[in-house]
Amino acid sequence: MNFQAIKVIYQFEMLRMWRTLFQSVFSPILSTSLYFIVFGAAIGSRIQSIDGIAYAAFIVPGLIMLMLLTQSVTNAAFGIFFPKFTGAIYEVLSAPLSFFEIVLGYVGAAATKSILLGVVILTTARLFVSFEIAHPMWMIVFLVLTGITFSLFGFLIGIWADNFEKLQLVPLLVITPLTFLGGSFYSINMLPPFWQTVTLFNPVLYLVSGFRWSFYEVADVSVGISLSVIFLFLCLCLFGVWWVFKTGYKIKT
């Protein structure tokens, strides 16, 4: 195992976050704060509580999940896309590194960034609303698993994308709509029966539901199913990454 290489890839990627601190950290905090002001304070004050939880508090897990998913995907995708774009990837591919080590470096850094951001947003949320976390350990499990899984997914997008447009395509056109429609801002019980059934096909629902359960012990679907869905998606992403390195898809000729 080339630990030195994993370490330098990880450090190099983390360094990029500090170089682009405003874009990486401050802008997600700002947008989350805006969500709290608009949905929590302005609109939320006129909405009744959901499942006995004040609306502003109800949306906290969903908002963290929204940021966690988009940031994991974006960070990991950009992390591998950029060296591909500049051509600097040659160095990683010619180094004595296995695909596992490369993924560990890049995905580890992307997941760390998004999890850190999740924690920062959680802290920011606490400034706006009062809430308790019923199962902090489970909250961390959901946070970490989701961060890793979606960083792997982002890594695959970064490998697949051969231009900046494709790089933005999935986070903007897939992740964001799925998160909005996955019960981040409402309980699916509020939907008509037909749309409730449709929403069950949205994988993000299971992430948001499980995460919200760890806060308030209320969930749209059972926690076991939520965890199973995350594991399933994690396995799919791992398989995808393994296949990319096995075949050299878009990185080796």
User: Do the Cβ atoms of 146 and 50 come closer than 8 Å?
Assistant: no
- Give me the residues paired with residue 53 across strands: 50
Query: Min. distance of Cβ 87 from another protein in angstroms?
Result: 3
Query: Min. distance of Cβ 107 from another protein in angstroms?
Result: 17
Binding residues for another protein, rule CB under 8 A, total 26
Q: How far is CA 107 from CA 6, 24, 47, 217, in A?
A: 10, 16, 39, 30
Residue 95 touches another protein, criterion: CB under 8 A: yes
Among the candidate windows 11-19, 62-70, 175-183, 193-201, which touches another protein by CB under 8 A?
A: 11-19
Residue 130 touches another protein, criterion: CB under 8 A: no
**CB within 8 A of 151, min separation 6: which ones?**
72, 73, 75, 76, 107, 110, 111, 114
CB of 13 or CB of 220, closer to another protein: 13
Exposed / middle / buried, residue 38 (Cβ in 10 Å: 0-12, 13-18, 19+): exposed
Spatial distance between the Cα atoms of 73 and 148, rounded to a whole number of angstroms? 10
Spatial distance between the Cα atoms of 245 and 91, rounded to a whole number of angstroms? 15
Residue 243 touches another protein, criterion: CB under 8 A: no
Query: Min. distance of Cβ 156 from another protein in angstroms?
Result: 20
Among the candidate windows 13-21, 134-142, 164-172, 192-200, which touches another protein by CB under 8 A?
A: 13-21
Query: Min. distance of Cβ 241 from another protein in angstroms?
Result: 18
State the virtual CA torsion across 185, 186, 187, 188 in degrees, nearest 10.
Answer: -100
Residue 34 touches another protein, criterion: CB under 8 A: no
Binding to another protein in span 56-85, by CB under 8 A? 83
Positions that interact with another protein (CB under 8 A): 2, 4-5, 7-9, 11-12, 15-16, 19, 83, 86-88, 90-97, 248, 252-253
